[in-house]
Structure 1
Amino acid sequence: MSIEAALPATTAPREAPQARRRAVPPNGLPLLAREDTWAMAIALGLVLAATLTFFAGSRFFGLAAVSVPGWSGAPGKVLAGLLADPRGLVSLFALFLATFAVAGRVMGWPVRAFAAGFAVLFLLALVVTVLGSNATLKGLQLETPLLALLVGLLIGNLAPLPRFLHAALRTEFYVKTGIVLMGATLPFTVILQAGPLAIAQASIVSLVTFVTIHLAATRLFGLDPRLGACLGAGGSICGVSGAIAIGGACRAEKEHVSVAISMVIVWAVAMIFALPAWARHLGMAAGPTGAWIGTSEFADAAGFAAASAVGDERAIKTFTLMKVVGRDMFVGVWAVVVAFLSITRWERRATPGGERERVAVGEVWRRFPKFVLGFLAASLAVTVTLALLAPKVGAQYAKEAIGPLKSLRGWAFTFTFLSIGLTTRFRELKSFGWRPLAAFAVGVAVNVPLGYWLSNSVFASYWLGVK
């Protein structure tokens, strides 16, 4: 993957001479220029709108939340059913295009190119979703997320993509929106119960994996410590976002961040297939399997695809608790640690007055992935709403409001996996050499068995109890 393709559009470094060494743009991005802000606004807005339309008696969200029924044989009957009443597909496309385009305009995207590209992306998502509903492919564990990734990889590596399509490949934005929507489908009481446990397991994994990858990169393979930090963050915290955030904290070269992102994608794609297969071979239950995936996958989107391949909603829930509530929240803490190490050991910079630069405590908040707060807010809002309703009305709300949100979540993740595949170029990965790959592989060799032991033995009793 090229450097420009690897970095999300909102974090690609500027080309001004004084900023070329920065891995991420200046820290003071306005609130409305941040992807996290708009991902939360869109997802929480959808939760609110679904709730209000439910009480108003409107069926708009039920109409827009298109789902494809399972089928076998020829797909003609399914396609005919979808096209017989196109209002659902038109509403779904219009809903996503309108919300994403408004956000993109404020964030400075080329909106016309985005709209054209998103139309193509939506059509690809529709094709993939129809194929993913086929009984034969489901039997082969090729669910929609995996198919989206495979189709994206196939197209992206065999054919040149039109320029306008790149404007719509907003992987980080789609996955953050999907994760906040996921919060609406996960009761806040479960999050409260799992929070301390997930954070405890995440603390062990984050510390051990980061230190392992960094030591392997710097001591075994002689890589720059800043590259080692980016690799360690990508493997131990939250994948691409972690590599970008830590790259900014230690003033890494943009090539360091690009290499780390590429390693995350390579291993994350491999783990999408490997972890569910190993879990089935080992006879693991769905709950511990999801927690293991949340512990040992490197990217949120890839982890969701792997958890979906298990074929049990409990795996998705425990993955989310482990990855989002547990590991993703560590990015701010590691940013402070890495910034401190960079200033005191790797760079030895001094201020004009001769004193060492200081690392502000506010770095934790500045680097904290804000979309996690949106995930918690969505969960809390839906949980409170259900608690206030009579059981019969609550069951109806879960079906007519939360059900469509779950469907919209699935579409957001399908856009994510297609974007990952379409922007991954395997032929370009070899240009990075073998040492970053080897350093990351050492971390994988430690992380995967550690995650299995913690999920299937140490904390198994809790993960087995998640319903």
Structure 2
Amino acid sequence: MSNISLVNKSTPTTPGSGSGLLKKEDYWAVWIGLGTVILSIILWAAGSTAMPALAVSFPAWDQFSKVSVYFHSHWGGIVALWFCFLVVFSIAVKVLGHNLKSFIPGFTILFILGVIVSILGASSLAKKWSLEPPLMALLVGLILGNVVPLPKWLDTAFRTEFYVKTGIVLMGATLPFTIILQSGPMAFLQATIVAVSTFLTIYWIGTRLFHLDKRFSTALAAGGSICGVSAAIAIGGSVKAEKNHVSVAISLVVVWAIIMVFALPIVIKALGISPGPGGAWIGTSEFADAAGIAAAASISEQAIKTFTLMKVVGRDMFVGIWCFIMALIAVTKWERREDGRKPNGKEIWFRFPKFVLGFFAASIVVTLLIASVDAPTAKTVSANIVGPISMIRLWAFIFTFLCIGLTTRFKELAAVGWRPFAAFTAGVIVNVPLGYILSVLVLGGYWTMVK
């Protein structure tokens, strides 16, 4: 990556790229997420309470003594949670080719920061301002990342995309597959309308008004219309955009994601929009998965569900098709190739974000389990499997937001330049109002019924 260090400090790779399944971050996110789900089911069937013990969640407090009491009685679970995360992530990081000597202490520091922001996010003051732990993690990360000089060896622990992909797979276990089947087509229709409109706006203004390179404008448009950082990387790679152009697109995604993660919940609450449509609006108009989840979490669990349907089902899962289309355009329209080769259908699979498949698989597994038992047993499944997985998912998103904050440099954002920023912002001007119209005014009744 160029000198803009916003997401991971490593060179961005396209989803599905690499040499072998063991070298693909997407697959590791799937294995870890599904492995956690399956292990939870096995432990529950065996009568073990190991998973609930890992569901570390600090209670709401206005006096710190409550935190002290909780910490004293749950310190074993906190240590166990750190150890489990460390072991699983360390195996993946080692196989992916990163340095464990740096990752282990780096992740330990990240986990300690996660504990701190979880405590801060549970305070009455944070609750008043809707600063859920992921948002608190972002604030703390931004402050530390721009005030405190961080040692270079910490970079290995800042696996932003890895953490968020793992969290999204785990999210599948908390979202019944029946809802996906019922609402997925509507989510895809709404997301397609907004994505195509936003993409064309950014691309047209970037190329025609500001005379930016076609590939640069494509990376900007992908990041602002499809699925944020992953789309900028994947589609930027499919059209052979320059690495520094992809980095600029990533930086703008992060800038607007940070703005929207605070602005959208405030507007939704101020306008009295119900959680279902509110979550769908966030899913349509937020630029990054982790930011959107944090924004939706500040509203309600229903908002998280409708956000997930819009963002993950409606937008993220089709990044592979977008990659294929743009690669086809780049090869046939923008490039002159002597060998005459053209991209084929396999390109869709190579570019497809595999963690989305893990999301669906987790949802199917838990849905089938709940459907196969009686009502009282289903409640124990929710308490001993779905509940703990939800908390582990939350921790994955806390790590994600800490990494975003710790690797975002305001000085580097200022160096992006006004033309790319203006082109991307034009997309925001189209995206947000259109998302409101579709989510609240046109389909508000529909999204309200999604429970």
TM-score in terms of structure 1 length: 0.94
SS in 1 for 2:356: helix
- Provide the aligned length of Structure 1 versus Structure 2: 451
SS in 2 for 1:6: coil
Offset at residue 281 of structure 1 (A): 1.8
Amino acid in structure 2 at the alignment position of 1:37: Y
Q: Distance in 2 between matches of 1:221 and 1:161?
A: 36
Q: Distance in 2 between matches of 1:79 and 1:418?
A: 23
* CA contact 2:220–2:232 (8 Å) conserved in 1: yes
* 1:29 equivalent among 13, 19, 22: 19
Equivalent residue number for residue 393 of structure 1: 377
Q: Distance in 2 between matches of 1:249 and 1:227?
A: 12
Q: Percent identity?
A: 53
Amino acid in structure 1 at the alignment position of 2:425: A
* 2:358 equivalent among 374, 385, 390: 374
Q: Deviations over 1:280-326 (max 9, x none)?
A: 1221110000000000001100111111122x110000000000001
Q: Distance in 2 between matches of 1:98 and 1:414?
A: 18
Matches of residues 135-150 of structure 1 in structure 2 within 5 Å? 135-150=124-139
Amino acid in structure 2 at the alignment position of 1:144: P
Residue 112 of structure 2 corresponds to residue 123 of structure 1:
yes
Amino acid in structure 1 at the alignment position of 2:96: M
Equivalent residue number for residue 71 of structure 1: 61
Matches of residues 86-101 of structure 1 in structure 2 within 5 Å? 86-101=75-90
Equivalent residue number for residue 317 of structure 2: 329
Offset at residue 5 of structure 1 (A): 2.3
* CA contact 2:7–2:403 (8 Å) conserved in 1: no
Residue 46 of structure 2 corresponds to residue 56 of structure 1:
yes
Residue 337 of structure 2 corresponds to residue 350 of structure 1:
yes
Equivalent residue number for residue 199 of structure 1: 188
Q: Distance in 1 between matches of 2:223 and 2:446?
A: 27
* CA contact 1:10–1:35 (8 Å) conserved in 2: no
Matches of residues 48-447 of structure 1 in structure 2 within 5 Å? 48-73=38-63, 75-310=64-299, 312-346=300-334, 348-352=335-339, 355=340, 357-447=341-431
Amino acid in structure 1 at the alignment position of 2:387: G
What's the RMSD between the two structures over aligned residues? 1.6
Equivalent residue number for residue 31 of structure 2: 41
Poorly superposed stretches of 4+, deviation over 6 Å: none
Q: Deviations over 1:339-377 (max 9, x none)?
A: 12212232x32224xx3x312121111111110110000
Q: Distance in 2 between matches of 1:424 and 1:28?
A: 26
Offset at residue 224 of structure 1 (A): 0.5
Q: Distance in 1 between matches of 2:168 and 2:381?
A: 21
SS in 2 for 1:5: coil
Alpha-carbon distance change, 90 to 26 in structure 1, aligned in 2, over 3 angstroms: closer
Q: Distance in 2 between matches of 1:6 and 1:335?
A: 23
* CA contact 1:3–1:254 (8 Å) conserved in 2: no
SS in 1 for 2:56: coil
Amino acid in structure 2 at the alignment position of 1:383: T
Residue 447 of structure 2 corresponds to residue 463 of structure 1:
yes
Amino acid in structure 2 at the alignment position of 1:56: A
Offset at residue 129 of structure 1 (A): 0.2
Q: Distance in 2 between matches of 1:83 and 1:167?
A: 31
Q: Distance in 2 between matches of 1:425 and 1:282?
A: 33
Offset at residue 25 of structure 1 (A): 9.7
Offset at residue 7 of structure 1 (A): 5.5
Deviates more, 1:360-369 or 1:181-190: 360-369
